[in-house]
Structure 1
Amino acid sequence: MSSNRREFIKQLGAGAAGVSLLWGFPDSLTAYPVNTQKLTRSTSPEAQGVNSAGIINFLDAVANSKHEFHSIMILRHGQVVAEGWWNPYRPDLKHTMYSMSKSFTSTAIGLAVHEGKLTVEDKVVSFFPDKVPQQVSDNLAALRVKDLLTMSVGHEKDSTPEIRTEDDWVQKFLSLPITYQPGTRFLYNSGATYMLSAIVQKVTGQRVLDYLKPRLFDPLGIEGMDWERDPKGIDTGGWGLRVRTEDLAKFGQLYLQKGQWNGKQLIPAAWVEEATTFKIQQPVPADNPGAKEKSDWLQGYCYQFWRCRHNAYRGDGAFGQYTIVMPDQDAVIAITSQTSNMQGQLDLIYEHLLPAMQGKSLPANAQSATALKTKLAALSLPPLPAQKTSPMAAKVSGKIFKVEDNTLNIQTVSFNFGKNSGTLTFKDASGTYPITVGLGKWKEGVTSLPGTPPNLVVTKVRNITSASLAASGTWKDDSTFEMLWRYIESPHHDRVTCRFDGDKVSLQFRNSIVAMNPSAKDSRPELRGQLV
């Protein structure tokens, strides 16, 4: 993970003519049937020149690591050779992409460039003459679309924390001082990607999500996607997209195929080349010049893609959301996960999966392929262990606790315990929010409880008003009930600890983002209740 991104997490934890019918304006777009573009599955990894044993070794290494994988798909020669989801995550579920979203925004810019709606040399201020400050500095006047694409705005720090609390993000971004000449210094800057999204909406009249639908999503058979928005209804661009793992894999395969899909050129090959090749060098630590040899965050930045070692490139998002394109191996790897060490994940790929790719095809190995299939089917993240019930369960079941005033505005909490599950219900002035947990197993549901799901980039607008979750619970002792809430369309989870003391109860929240920083505290208050 880049130092800029780590610092951002730390801050938040603490508190033209076309070549097919597709090219043209919306009224001439080809209509594509959705949900018909499933990727081809290989009969075995060996049929595509991948050693099954190497994938097994990779999965074993993941199991013995501190990385929490949620899904993986491995493609070779255009076919899926291995795929797996760690239960309770599933292939039909979307997943929050965080900065993996940036590569989709970059693609929208490329399509708009091809349609003649803008160029990468256009000045950013030209799109928003009504939002520029009274005095436009020379550096702001010089800022180009290309500088946004390459994360070389010239800011001293990432603009995202500054803009995300405002009502008008564009105006706030344009008001920030640009210290350095645009195009000369790399600084990871999600606000720059947001501005790309705002520019697409300005020149097309459509949100990036809607603009990409007939041009990218429909042809690839991607459906059900959504994207967070700012208070003005502009897609956040640098984060906030939710798609499925197979959608990531398709996106990577499209780029590997130089923008071609089913015989149609969805993205110009020239743009694919331009967008995925070296544009600017990230700062190499002066005290560790050798770091570049081992870091995939120091191989150069492109147009919202990162260069990797081994001549690969990738889109990536915080906590390990990846589309990794490996042209030399004719391979694509898509991953969703939660980790504090994204470099460690890439290292495992290079150590195990890269050498497993050994040519056009390999001799069949039924035993190894069967073992891999079995292992992939058994992937899971275990629920909290089942414990004998506590006498407290019967005492509090059906009872209501009045909660002290709190910033979540929760008024009461109540509990109901059964043999195999338990339900905790929160109530505020707007309604009730029951969450049912399995005892020794996962129990799936949906919640709209305020404060859920955890999100790295909290904004004024709550675009996603409910969250799918799988929950489990256990009695740690006779008076302590702990719950694990996995938000299964997100990288994150919550641990909620309920402590009973006579006629009192306290509830403490700790989300998995702040849990990565031992000194950080969850922004949600401890809830204290008294039996009614």
Structure 2
Amino acid sequence: MTERIDAVLRSGKAPNLHGLVVRRSGNVVLEWYGAGADHRLGESLGHVEFGRDTLHDVRSVSKSVVALLYGIALGEGLVPEPGEGLVRQFPEYADLVEDLGRAHLTIEHALTMTLGLDWTEDAPYTSTANSEIAMELAPDRYRYVLERPVVEAAGKRWNYCGGATALIGGIIERGTGRPLEEYAAGVLFQPLGVEDFQWSKGKDGLAMAAAGLRLRPVDLAAVGQLVLDGGRGIVPGGWLQEMLRPRVVIADGFEYGYHWYVSTGDRHWVEAIGNGGQRLLVVPGEELVVAITAGEYEQEQTSATAVLDAILDR
């Protein structure tokens, strides 16, 4: 594997790779850091020499971490079950709670991104044509999501939606009585030995649940190891089984669980994916965890793909 990765790096097929950590059978077997231009949610950080202690945006890998936090809070009895109504978790929006056209929405629909609401993230994440950016600029992020027009039946079709994660983050904050980043520190990161992380906030002061997490690659890999190990009492094992069960088809052999991607092909794996080439891959049958950070924001993620192809020898 090391030889294949070296070949990729020498060939220039991964020019925007920033960090790579591979764990096999619980041990770090490869750790590599590069250099290049980087951003923090669109804010230029200039040229960065990456190292073990350099925090990096993990972008939408944040969504998968939020799913872990929801599972922890559920195990503590602090948040409702996935089958509970979604809109009524936000009683301040009385008009929406009373809207019979939204009464069928559940927390599970948010976890599986099958809300059936008018939402698009096809536009660049620098444009208000992107629903997630519009949400971040709205006076009230939760109302913005919940009042989107209903365009199809919930639970039928996967539609990528950062707003769904924002709602899950809000439910966690309300249930635990703590800001999302504070709850994450206490119940997930500190037990994992993660001493340094950041969670970018919106103009409203709330953690950007869908994309704001910044971690060291070694700590991102530690999150993957936790998933591989069945939760280790930090995340309930039963929740991990539910979270990683394929629930809605994205493409042939590629499905979605609760905010995690799941391969249903011959080689089973689960993955968290973020814009720019941020990847966290867990391959249970091979005791393998791969954490990648890269700088290919708003472009094809060729660096991460080349590295994963080399690691998986495909």
- Distance in structure 2 (CA, Å) of the matches to 1:346 and 1:273: 27
TM-fit CA distance, 1:207: 1.4
Number of the residue aligned with 1:305: 260
Question: Matched residues in 2 for 1:134 and 1:245: separation?
Answer: 41
Deviation at 1:234, TM superposition (A): 2.3
When normalised by structure 2's length, the TM-score is 0.85
Aligned to 1:119: 81
Match of 1:463 in 2: none
Structure number with the bigger relative contact order (C-alpha 8 A, sep ≥ 6) is 2
Cα displacement string for residues 332-358 of structure 1 (whole angstroms, at most 9, x for unaligned residues)? 0011002333377336423x22249xx
Name the structure 2 match of 1:279: 247
Counterpart pick for 1:65 among 13, 30, 35: 13
1:77–1:202 CA distance, 2 compared to 1 (3 A): same
- The equivalent of 2:205 in structure 1 is 233
> Retained in 1: the 8 A contact 2:117–2:149?
yes
Q: Does 1:109 align with 2:65?
A: no
- SS of aligned partner of 1:84: strand
Deviation string, structure 1 residues 496-531 (Cα, Å, up to 9, x no partner): xxxxxxxxxxxxxxxxxxxxxxxxxxxxxxxxxxxx
Alignment of 1:133-532 (within 5 A): 133=95, 136-158=98-120, 159-260=131-232, 265-282=233-250, 284=251, 292=252, 299-308=254-263, 310-339=267-296, 340-342=299-301, 345-346=304-305, 348-350=307-309, 352-355=310-313
Whether contact under 8 Å (2:85, 2:105) holds in the other structure is yes
CA drift of 1:152 comes to 0.6
Conservation of the 8 A alpha-carbon contact between 1:157 and 1:189: yes
2:200–2:213 Cα contact (<8 Å) kept = yes
Are 1:226 and 1:241, in contact at CA under 8 Å, matched by a contact in 2? yes
Check 1:135–1:316 CA distance in 2 against 1; reply closer, same or farther (3 A cut): closer
**TM-score for both structures, normalised by structure 1:** 0.51
**Cα distance in structure 1, aligned partners of 2:257 and 2:89:** 23
Contact 1:150 1:302 in 2 (8 A): yes
Rounded Cα–Cα distance in structure 2 between residues aligned with 1:347 and 1:326: 17
Aligned counterparts of 1:135 and 1:322: Cα–Cα separation in 2: 37
Aligned length: 285
SS at match of 1:186: coil
d(CA) in 2 for partners of 1:78, 1:181:
43
Counterparts of 1:134 and 1:328, CA distance in 2: 45
Give distance in 2, aligned partners of 1:342 and 1:179.
Answer: 31
Q: Provide Cα deviations, 1:371-419, integer angstroms capped at 9, x if missing partner.
A: xxxxxxxxxxxxxxxxxxxxxxxxxxxxxxxxxxxxxxxxxxxxxxxxx
**Is residue 315–residue 324 contact of structure 1 (8 Å, CA) maintained in 2?**
yes
Tell me how far apart the structure 2 counterparts of residues 329 and 347 of structure 1 sit (CA, whole Å): 19
* Residue matched to 2:92: 130
Cα drift, residue 131 of structure 1: 2.0
Give the deviation of 1:242 after TM superposition. Answer: 0.7
Which AA in structure 1 matches 2:260? F
Cα distance, 1:249 vs structure 2: 0.6
Hey, which bits of structure 1, 4+ residues long, moved more than 4 A? none
Indicate the structure (1 or 2) with the bigger Cα radius of gyration. 1
Asked if 1 retains the 8 angstrom alpha-carbon contact of 2:55 and 2:216, the reply is: yes
Q: Given the alignment of the two structures, is residue 99 of structure 1 paired with residue 63 of structure 2, yes or no? A: no
Compute the displacement of 1:55 (Å).
1.7
**Contact kept? 1:113, 1:120, Cα under 8 Å:** no
| Deviations, residues 266-315 of structure 1 (Å, cap 9, x unaligned) | 11111111111201112x4xxxxxxx4xxxxx600111111135211111
Q: How far, CA to CA, are the matches of 2:15 and 2:34 in structure 1?
A: 12
Give the Cα separation in 1 of the matches to 2:91 and 2:231: 34
Please report how far the alpha carbon of residue 229 of structure 1 lies from its aligned counterpart in structure 2 after TM superposition: 2.1
Structure 2 CA distance for aligned equivalents of residues 233 and 122 of structure 1: 27
Offset from partner CA, 1:249-280 (integer Å, 9 cap, x none) = 100000000001xxxx1111111111112011
Identity %, equivalent residues:
26
Instruction: Give the helix-richer structure, 1 or 2.
Output: 2
